[in-house]
Amino acid sequence: MNVSSQEEFNNMIKGVLISEDEIRAEIAKAGKLIDSFYDGSPVLLVSVLKGAFVFLADLVRAVSVPCEVDFMEAKSYFDATQSSGSVAVTRDLRQNITGRDVVIVEDIIDTGRTLSEIVKLLRARSPRSLRIVTLLDKPSRRVTELNADYSLFTIPDKFVIGYGLDYGELFRNLPYIGEFNEDFCK
């Protein structure tokens, strides 16, 4: 996506849905919850790229149990504001998760298709436990039975950007969750 000016970039943001302070407070709670799940046992935090990398960076600092991180990348949007319905895993884990406690760190659960495919793939590898922590949950769009073990925020059916989430690879750097002005897609 090409943006010609800061003004155009700013006009593509309809408004702030969740502030930086609200995000920070909920991440602290999520870190404590993960600590309570594992009570000192090591955990592997798996970030689903690219959208969840900012969330993971802050969440890993809120967790006090020993933890490692790894990354997967999956796509279903392909530069659109609606999921394409097909999921492509474009980067897999680099380590064996058999017998390990694993937490999938997701940016947003929308239709649930992408994460359902990732969960199936990871469950087949026999982790000791597999949990899902998502920054955002959009249950009104769900087409699968998938639910997170912990959702920091439930949001309405709006296309959101910021805090790692993008439109056309832009807006990941916003420190808050904003609503994308879809008039710019027409």
70 Cβ contact list (under 8 Å, min separation 6): 44, 45, 46, 47, 93, 94, 95
* Distance in angstroms (rounded) separating the CA atoms of residues 172 and 166: 5
Residues, the chain = 186
Q: Which residues pair with 100 in a beta bridge?
A: none
CA distances from 115 to 42, 61, 150, 183 (A): 23, 24, 14, 28
* Helix (H), strand (E) at residue 105: strand 101-109
Catalytic residue among 107, 110, 137, 166: 110
* Distance in angstroms (rounded) separating the CA atoms of residues 51 and 117: 17
Nearest of 61, 37, 59, 34 to residue 47 by alpha carbon: 59
92 flagged as catalytic? no
The strand order across the sheet containing 129-137 reads 88-91, 67-75, 43-49, 101-109, 129-137, 150-154
Residue positions annotated with a catalytic role: 110
